[in-house]
Amino acid sequence: MGFDFNVILSKQDALVSGIGMTIFVWVVGTLFAAVIGFVIATARRYGGVIVDKALTVPIEVIRGTPFLVQLFLLYFGGPYIGLSLDALPAGLLALSIYGAAYFAEIFRAGYQSVPPGHVEAAECLGFTRIQIIRNILLPEMALLVIPPSVNMAIILLKETALLSLITVPEMTMTASAIGSQEYAFVEAMVLIALVYWVLVELAGLLGRLAEKKLSRYRLAKA
């Protein structure tokens, strides 16, 4: 036996497009997930007890089941209830919903961390609800919310590999295909493992930078 990485590297066009697809799905999926998660957390805060309780159930179901099963349920089961999606939109949707359940919890913790006195003070000054969220709650929770959000983004990056199982042409799928064609599967997997690793480390680095930059807004301990 011997390992030959040149065979794989000669297919760089396909690999690069796979890597591009992974990054696209990751970035878009994470953004959707964060936005939906934020909306859910906000609805739970302001929507009253019934909305709060009603939203707990889907969040717990999504957090308690494997992403792979959710993905298969949506992609293969969807058409039976009139939801026929191509691989890419199905993958993006599944990733966004999955991530949203976790982001909802992250933002809930963020909302809870803001001292009620600040919100009450803003109310007394005549701030509207939107203004309170934008000018008081979001900036004050930002520092607390960033580390778990970066963590979640990293988890979602790794979960994008599963989209290969529903034939989204991201890098695990492209690398598997090239690897099987060229009889160099191990080399292909090693190569993309390294790419994932670099992306994960980069994301972590960016997160730490953002945290550092925001740390001057840290609230004084009362």
Partner 1 sequence: MSWKLFNLLLEASLMTIFVSTVSILIGLFLAILLSAANLSGIRPLQWFAKFFISFFRGTPLLVQLLLLYNLLPVVGIQIPSLVTAIIGLSICTAAYQAENLRGGFEGVPTGLVESADMAGFSPVQTFFHIRVPIALRLTLPALINEAILILKASSLVSVVGLIELTRMAQNLVASTFMPLEIYASAGLIYLVINLVVATAGRQLERRLPGVGGK
Residue type at 212 in one-letter notation: K
Q: How far is CA 203 from CA 141, 157, 211, in A?
A: 20, 10, 12
Q: Does 65 bind partner 1 (CB under 8 A)?
A: yes
Which two structure tokens, joined as six digits, stand for 93?
């949707």
Q: Does 165 bind partner 1 (CB under 8 A)?
A: yes
Angle subtended at Cα 58 by Cα 132 and Cα 93, rounded to the nearest 5 degrees: 85
Q: Which is nearer to partner 1, 209 or 219 (CB)?
A: 209
In the list 19, 38, 44, 70, the residue contacting partner 1 (rule: CB under 8 A) is 70
Q: Does 87 bind partner 1 (CB under 8 A)?
A: no
Whether the Cβ atoms of residue 72 and residue 166 lie closer than 8 Å to each other = yes
Q: Does 189 bind partner 1 (CB under 8 A)?
A: yes
Least spacing, CB of residue 132 vs partner 1, in Å: 33
Q: Does 186 bind partner 1 (CB under 8 A)?
A: yes
In the list 28, 35, 54, 61, the residue contacting partner 1 (rule: CB under 8 A) is 61
Q: What residues have CB less than 8 Å from 7, skipping those under 6 apart?
A: 182, 184, 187
Q: How far is CA 141 from CA 130, 132, 137, in A?
A: 15, 12, 6
- Number of chain positions touching partner 1 (CB under 8 A): 37
Q: Which residues make up the interface to partner 1 (CB under 8 A)? A: 1, 60-61, 64-70, 72-73, 76-77, 80-81, 157-162, 164-165, 172, 176, 179, 185-186, 189-190, 192-193, 196-197, 200-201
